[in-house]
């Protein structure tokens, strides 16, 4: 998917929302207990209910992997469902993979060949040869961790080097030489929204994936203020605040309400920035 196609979807839906599909069996509404392919069924209903308000869906692989073969099957069913039913949606594998070159090549095969994801999140710690194999698939995206939304982000990502450059800045600067605006995005936590000023200086035109809205407490208006560019340039994720907003058999309806709430805020922000007519 090209950046232009993403921007077109954003304008069409007046939304830059990504819904995180992090299904935890213990948190599913009780009527899913004991039914076959319960995670896929839950995802399917969430997708149907919220796709009108979202441009992307992002399964976090941990929530599938922890169930072994069964989890892998739920993920395959979910990806296939989105591909068949809603071809315009951006599908992001939140995998945070990264290994030596010949091994990252296998991970890239997993997400871009075995599965047909559009994008995969990648961890930068191991450097260029751990990231580049993911960048070699035309039309696919690496979303590189730069500044994450969790408390532990403080441990290393802000370490300042002797050139007065923080680690997250070095990650973005270096990686700009590995990829370009059509195959590389960055993860920047909404909980660190003011850092977007610095990040937009380094990477004014790249898309950014922003987690941390909702359960993690990030502020959407602040993210938009510092992060929007002339192509929108933002994809903002919410997982728990949408998919677990209700735990009864009305969960999908309530998830849709929550997604719509965010979408309406996004429409205002897009309009204020001149991105919508």
| DSSP structure class, residue 28 | S
Residue 83 CB, nearest approach to its own copies (Å): 15
> Do 19 and 46 form a contact (C-beta atoms < 8 A)?
yes
97 binds its own copies (CB under 8 A): yes
Of 207 and 244, the one with the shorter C-beta distance to its own copies is 244
| Burial grade of 34 (CB within 10 A; 0-12, 13-18, 19 or more) | exposed
Contacts (CB under 8 A) with its own copies, residues 181-220? 216
The torsion angles phi and psi of 182, rounded to 5 degrees, stand at: -105, 5
Contacts (CB under 8 A) with its own copies, residues 135-154? 145, 148-154
251-272 and 220-227 helices, crossing angle to 10° = 40
Residues counted in the chain: 277
Neighbours of 183 (CB within 10 A): 18
Which region among 107-115, 134-142, 194-202, 227-235 touches its own copies (by CB under 8 A)?
107-115
| Catalytic residue from among 11, 73, 96, 198 | 96
- For its own copies (CB under 8 A), the number of binding residues is 58
- Pair type for strands 17-21 and 56-59: parallel
Residue 105 CB, nearest approach to its own copies (Å): 8
96 binds its own copies (CB under 8 A): yes
Which of 54, 171, 190, 199 is the binder for its own copies (CB under 8 A)? Answer: 171
Residue 130 CB, nearest approach to its own copies (Å): 5
| 96 catalytic per annotation | yes
Q: Give me 250's structure tokens.
A: 């009305």
Bridge partners of 58, per DSSP, are 20
The torsion angles phi and psi of 142, rounded to 5 degrees, stand at: -95, 130
53 binds its own copies (CB under 8 A): no
Q: Which residues bind its own copies (CB under 8 A)?
A: 22, 24, 60, 62-63, 65-69, 72-73, 76, 94, 96-101, 103-104, 106-107, 109-110, 113-115, 123-131, 145, 148-157, 159-162, 167, 170-171, 174, 216
């Amino acid at each position: 998917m090209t950046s232009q196609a993403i921007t077109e979807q954003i304008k069409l839906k007046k939304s830059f929302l990504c819904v995180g599909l992090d299904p935890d069996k213990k948190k599913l509404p009780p009527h899913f207990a004991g039914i076959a392919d319960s995670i896929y069924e839950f995802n399917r209903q969430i997708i149907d209910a919220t796709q009108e308000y979202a441009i992307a869906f992002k399964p976090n692989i941990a929530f599938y992997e922890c169930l072994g073969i069964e989890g892998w099957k739920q993920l395959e069913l979910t990806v296939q469902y989105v591909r068949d039913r809603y071809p315009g949606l951006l599908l992001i594998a939140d995998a945070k993979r990264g290994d030596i070159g010949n091994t990252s090549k296998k991970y890239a095969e997993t997400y871009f060949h075995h599965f047909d994801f559009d994008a995969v999140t990648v961890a930068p710690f191991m450097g260029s040869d751990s990231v580049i194999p993911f960048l070699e698939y035309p039309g696919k995206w690496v979303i590189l961790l730069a500044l994450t939304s969790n408390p532990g982000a403080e441990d290393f990502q802000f370490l300042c080097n002797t050139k007065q450059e923080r680690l997250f800045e070095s990650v973005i600067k270096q990686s700009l030489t590995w990829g370009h605006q059509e195959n590389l995005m960055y993860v920047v936590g909404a909980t660190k929204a003011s850092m977007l000023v610095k990040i937009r200086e380094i990477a004014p035109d790249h898309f950014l994936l922003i987690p941390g809205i909702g359960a993690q407490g990030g502020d959407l208006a602040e993210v938009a203020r510092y992060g929007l560019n002339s192509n929108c340039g933002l994809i903002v994720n919410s997982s728990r605040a949408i998919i677990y907003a209700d735990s009864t058999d009305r969960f999908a309806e309530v998830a849709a309400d929550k997604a719509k709430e965010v979408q309406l805020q996004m429409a205002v922000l897009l309009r204020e920035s001149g991105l919508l007519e």
